[in-house]
Amino acid sequence: MESRLYRPRRSVLYVPAVNEKALGKIASLACDAVILDLEDAVAPSGKAAARDSLQRFFAARSWGAREIVIRINAAATEWGAEDLALAVSLAPDAILLPKVDTPRDLLEASDALNEADAPETTKLWAMIETPRAMLNIGAIAELGRDPASRLACFVAGTNDLVKETGVLATADRRHLVPWLMQMVLAARAGGIDVLDGVSNDFRDLDAFARECSEAAAMGFDGKTLIHPAQIEPAKLAFSPSPEAIAEAEAIVAAFARPENATLGVISIDGRMVERLHLAQAQRLLARA
């Protein structure tokens, strides 16, 4: 939302909570946020060990100034309750709920956080990765309008969406794009952020850069990542370009001229510019 302090979420790296070596690297990585994963990146036999290493990681508190998010297992699984209790006690910036189907899933989680006296600063993020979530996306996003829900961000779970729907995963993601656009639209309606799903092929950084610039053009705030090599291309794609910054500065300067003070619409280099463009330009400069 416009009123909240701007936090960049261009590059958001998943780190399996069970992988101590990867956890140890976080402090040296330049990503905007990390998602410490107790869910799909951890095999059933490793769930308990993952919770232990997460606890050690938080005890050491060496992750720098970035946002820290914990992805727990779904409430319906045998690990859900214990994961949630641990996550609340660690007071991360957010807890990421997988397999959200309905607004009720989020409300139950926020009730649980309130009952456990979780600090207000612990927000909820929601994976959008099931057909039911897609059909309920507007109602889920609407919770973003109510601070009591704690909902702050959607994360596209594209691998699960492919698995659950049977669409073909092509390089250009043509069969996923309609759903991705619905997520962006719903997130804007709810005033929350929205992050694109992961690219599995972490060696092909050219393809990755293309996917990032597509996602930026689609309106995503950033991308979820699986490998450190993806951090820089993601940051680049989701940061305003020098041309966009120059254009925004020109719009701000034009409206600041005394002769334009009372005008709603002006022309710059043969293009109509309205005050809505001024607001857009100011927002872009704030991000830059």
Binding of ligand COA by 21 (CB under 6 A): yes
11-16 and 33-37 strand pairing: parallel
Site string for ligand COA, 121-150 (x = CB under 6 A): ------------------------------
Q: What is the Cα–Cα distance from 123 to 113, expressed in whole angstroms?
A: 9
Does residue 4 sit in helix, strand or coil? coil
Binding of Mg ion by 160 (CB under 5 A): yes
Lookup result for tokens 């690990």: 79
Q: How far is the CB of 198 from ligand COA (least distance, A)?
A: 5
Burial 156-175 (b: 16+ CB within 10 A, else e): bbbebbbebeebeeeeebee
Of 143 and 156, CB closest to ligand COA:
156
Binding of ligand COA by 15 (CB under 6 A): yes
From the list ligand COA, Mg ion, none, which binds 13 (C-beta under 5 to 8 Å, kind-based)?
A: ligand COA
From the list Mg ion, ligand COA, none, which binds 157 (C-beta under 5 to 8 Å, kind-based)?
A: Mg ion
Among 8, 222, 228, 233, binds ligand COA (CB under 6 A): 228
- Provide the residue type at 49 as one letter: A
Among the candidate windows 18-26, 206-214, 245-253, 263-271, which touches ligand COA by CB under 6 A? 18-26
Q: How far is the CB of 88 from ligand COA (least distance, A)?
A: 21
Among the candidate windows 112-120, 143-151, 223-231, 246-254, which touches ligand COA by CB under 6 A? 223-231
Binding of Mg ion by 197 (CB under 5 A): no
From the list Mg ion, ligand COA, none, which binds 144 (C-beta under 5 to 8 Å, kind-based)?
A: none
222-225 and 11-16 strand pairing: parallel
Among the candidate windows 9-17, 66-74, 160-168, 175-183, which touches Mg ion by CB under 5 A? 160-168
Binding of Mg ion by 157 (CB under 5 A): yes
Judge whether 199 and 208 are in contact, CB under 8 Å.
yes
Q: Tell which residue, 60, 74, 69, has the closest CA to residue 27.
A: 60
Concatenated DSSP letters for 132-176? HHHHTHHHHHHGGG-GGG-EEEEEE-HHHHHHHH-----TT-TTT
Q: Tell which residue, 1, 8, 6, 67, has the closest CA to residue 235.
A: 8
Binding site for ligand COA (CB under 6 A): 13-16, 21-22, 25, 37, 40-41, 198, 226-228
Binding site for Mg ion (CB under 5 A): 129, 157, 160
